[in-house]
Structure 1
Amino acid sequence: MYALAGSCHPGPVVAVTALMVALAVTADQSAARSLLTGAAVLTGQLSVGWCNDAFDAHRDTAAGRRGKPVVDGAVGVRQVWWAAYAALALCVPLSFACGLCAGVVHLAGVAAAWGYNLWLKATAWSWAPYAVGFAALPAFVALGLPEHPWPAWWVVTTGAMLGVGAHLGDVLPDIREDLATGVRGWPHRLGRQRARLLLPVPLVAASAVLALGPVGPPGRWAAAALVASSVLAVAGTLLGRRWEQAAFSAAVAVAVVDVALLLLRGTGLA
């Protein structure tokens, strides 16, 4: 059981689920609805994580990526596939329990993530499932509110930009190994250097949308977050020329600022 849990990419699963529950709370969903939102997101993320590890098992083995339960033989590929299907089966009713439109939007995001795992990961369109999947999450929270209002444009745009940034950050450390196993997604085609330079761009763009998109003046916190994101991005780019990890760390810091600003703006999702 421990090995199966380790095969779902537990870090991202927990982070995304916790963020969506927090966003649901700040958006004034009830406690029960926030928990339901979290359950739907959790099962969707579990299905995506298990699907990824099961489908990529042969590539991970070929690349010698030790530390993965499937590669290490701690859990079988068939078991991981069954776990992915079971989580997906639970995700469907949980998503629709939040409303018809909310369910459709969330399941579209989950479907995009499965599409990435099974096909688009190795194409020039590898960024698209991340953009769709991340845009669907805050939209799902907004549509789960009473009267199911459509999410504000800046919410969906921010999610999509954060998704593109997450894609670049997720792929960047593994570009060489991926190329060796035949994966040529969008970041791989850009090359390691250009992907590193591009990494903070969608994240800072998300900061700008979060700060300037909602109706009314941005306020001092939003303005400070935008300035902080820009400074971090520039510093990471400059330091990244000599220390690549600095660029990645700066991008993570910008993403943290974006998440904090998104939670701050939570009451205006719709």
Structure 2
Amino acid sequence: MPALLRAAHGGPALAVTVLALLLGVAADLTPGRLVLVGLAVLAGQLSVGWSNDLIDLPRDRAVERRDKPIPAGQVSERTVRLACAGAVVAVVPLSLACGLVAGVVHLACVASAWSYNLGLKATVWSWLPYAFSFATLTVFVSLAGQPGELPGGLPDWWVPTAGALLGVGAHLVNVLPDLADDAATGVHGLPHRLGARRLPVVATVVLATGSLVAALGSGLTRLSVAGLAVVAVLLLVSLAGRGRVPFLAAIGIALVDVVLLVLAS
């Protein structure tokens, strides 16, 4: 079971699910609807994670990735395929149970994430699925509180915009550890074209812009101003730092982004 969860990229899957739940709490969803939102997002994220490792399996074997469960022999390819199929089957009714419009929006969000796995990751458009999926996640959570009706519950424009920037920044940060292995197997997405030296700084700037959008869009409060002050410090650290410092600064800004996005929703 631990190996199967690692093949699903359990950490990112849990992080996105928690983000959706926090957005749901901020949107005053009922407990029952909050559970449905969490289960739908978790099922979608598990399907995305498992499909990622299955699609990447030939490349992972080519570079002898021993840190990934399937090529390391810690879980069978068949088991992961069955788990992925189960997640795909589950995500459809769970999404639609949140309301027809909300469900369609969430299924589009999951389909976008799958498009990354299916080929966009190797193109200059690798950032687009992250931008679309994180933006539509905020729309899904908002609409999930409006069962059975058309979009009266759409969030303000800056909420999905901040979500999109958070998604792009997360993509840039997430790819950094795998740049060499990806390049060796023909994957040349936007992060690879930016290169290891520029990538952390670009990710930090994108995430900082997301913080600014969330803070300004919601109206400046003491908390948002404090968050922006933290972001400004981390931005300076990233621009002046060397080695892993810019990477760690980008992670810090991403966490501030999440807090600002949830508080502003």
TM superposition score normalised by structure 1? 0.93
Q: Which moved more, 1:39-48 or 1:7-16?
A: 7-16
Mapped to 2, the partners of 1:63 and 1:227 lie a distance apart of 42
Mapped to 2, the partners of 1:113 and 1:169 lie a distance apart of 16
Task: Give the conservation status (yes or no) of the 8 Å contact 2:214–2:261.
Answer: yes
SS at match of 1:193: coil
Report the equivalent of 2:253: 254
1:150 paired to 2:148: no
Runs of 4+ in structure 1 off by over 6 angstroms are: none
Taking only aligned residues, the RMSD between alpha carbons, in angstroms, comes to 1.3
Report the equivalent of 2:235: 233
Report the equivalent of 2:66: 66
Task: Give the conservation status (yes or no) of the 8 Å contact 2:207–2:250.
Answer: yes
Which AA in structure 1 matches 2:160? V
TM superposition shift of 1:185: 0.6
1:69-98 per-residue CA deviation (whole Å, 9 max, x = no partner) reads: 101112222321221121011101111111
SS at match of 1:40: helix
Which AA in structure 1 matches 2:208? V
Q: Which moved more, 1:54-63 or 1:120-129?
A: 54-63
Report the equivalent of 1:130: 130
Task: Give the conservation status (yes or no) of the 8 Å contact 2:163–2:261.
Answer: no
What is the identity percentage for the equivalent residue pairs of Structure 1 and Structure 2? 51
1:22 paired to 2:26: no
Report the equivalent of 1:170: 174
Which AA in structure 1 matches 2:245? A
Mapped to 2, the partners of 1:258 and 1:79 lie a distance apart of 36
Mapped to 2, the partners of 1:192 and 1:5 lie a distance apart of 28
Mapped to 2, the partners of 1:114 and 1:196 lie a distance apart of 25
TM superposition shift of 1:187: 1.0
Report the equivalent of 1:7: 7
Mapped to 1, the partners of 2:166 and 2:3 lie a distance apart of 30
Mapped to 1, the partners of 2:62 and 2:137 lie a distance apart of 33
Q: Which runs of 5+ in 2 are unaligned?
A: none
1:232-255 per-residue CA deviation (whole Å, 9 max, x = no partner) reads: 012122113xx2x11111011111
TM superposition shift of 1:257: 0.8
1:3-54 per-residue CA deviation (whole Å, 9 max, x = no partner) reads: 2222111111111111211221121000110010000000000000000011
Which AA in structure 2 matches 1:262? L
Q: Which runs of 5+ in 1 are unaligned?
A: none
Mapped to 1, the partners of 2:19 and 2:38 lie a distance apart of 9
Report the equivalent of 1:141: 141
TM superposition shift of 1:155: 0.9
Q: Which moved more, 1:24-33 or 1:193-202?
A: 193-202
Mapped to 2, the partners of 1:222 and 1:3 lie a distance apart of 39
1:194 paired to 2:186: no
Task: Give the conservation status (yes or no) of the 8 Å contact 2:201–2:238.
Answer: no
SS at match of 1:71: coil
Mapped to 2, the partners of 1:195 and 1:67 lie a distance apart of 23
Task: Give the conservation status (yes or no) of the 8 Å contact 2:200–2:250.
Answer: no
Mapped to 2, the partners of 1:106 and 1:201 lie a distance apart of 28
1:76 paired to 2:80: no
Q: How many residues align?
A: 261
